[in-house]
Structure 1
Amino acid sequence: MPFLTDGDINKQLSRGEMTLHCRRRTLGEETTIRLLEEMLGLLMGSRGNDSFGVSLYDSERMEHILCVQRKHVKCIQDPPGVALYIKTGELTKGGVRLPVYRCARVFSSTAQPLHTSYSGDLLHFVNDNYQKLFGRKVVPEFCPPSRYTDLIGMQYLFRQTGQALQDMHPDS
């Protein structure tokens, strides 16, 4: 449709449709750092002020955070030479065949987990009871935290002093 502009087309496409048909990639470490610095520069100026003109950000703290976190920017970049998208099919829209992609990145996936809980205790009890009833766990990848005992606390304290705690029976 040659008479449609890019803006007209973008209005007709939902974010979900764009995710299906477009491959995204990170911009690289240097570009990401530059963009973060530009954004912080804007926020440290008048754009980072509230309606009374008071800055919402502590520039010294923000610069410190950027300095400390800068080393992690490379960790969120796409690895070179690794295909992060898999073509899973094609759809025809408006007479145009469009590829359908699935992304391997967790943070860009559109699928929602079946079970969501922020309580380790709850997940542990649900898994334990489900295991007893049905012979399998609801969330098999969940590993419950170790039970706290005084022995764990003592091991921690000894480790802080550089000394080793002798192995002993937990009931002693």
Structure 2
Amino acid sequence: MKAATYRILVMGVSGSGKSHVGRLLAGRLGVDFIDGDDHHSPASIDKMANGIPLDDADRGEWLATLAGFFADYRRREASVVIACSALKRRYRDILRGGDGDLAILFLEGDREQLRQRLGRREEHFFRGDAMLDSQLADLEPPGEDEAVIVNIGRTPEQIVDTFLGSLKAP
């Protein structure tokens, strides 16, 4: 019997723990992890480092690249976890273009939780309350019909356990 494969998106605004939870989830599943932040263009990284929020045009090529990763893993019948903010439904639709059966974990948190987490970061290009406010303004939270929603007040291990408990074999 063939093992189940999953293409998983871990989404949320900056500071929600996408990369940490994504790596932990990938490790538990024994699959590849891709951090979407590693695939931003140099121009987008410069904008964010200077406190300038990205717009839809900035995100287009980046989302297409990540959708391509999902499509490649689907073609190979392999599993992958990708961390990506995926703030708007249309962004998630682009990603689902790579795999229509994408499983989504939404890391939900309030502004104060997120601001505190971002304040502890030392080596990341995302800086400042204005950037967080921009992401929160852009966020179109997925409903339970689209994603498994877990609050970031739980430990990363609890978040992964909750998500894994919700996975259904494709």
TM-score (norm 2): 0.20
Question: Which one has more relative contact order, counting CA pairs under 8 Å at least 6 apart?
Answer: 2
TM-score (norm 1): 0.20
Q: Which has the larger radius of gyration?
A: 1
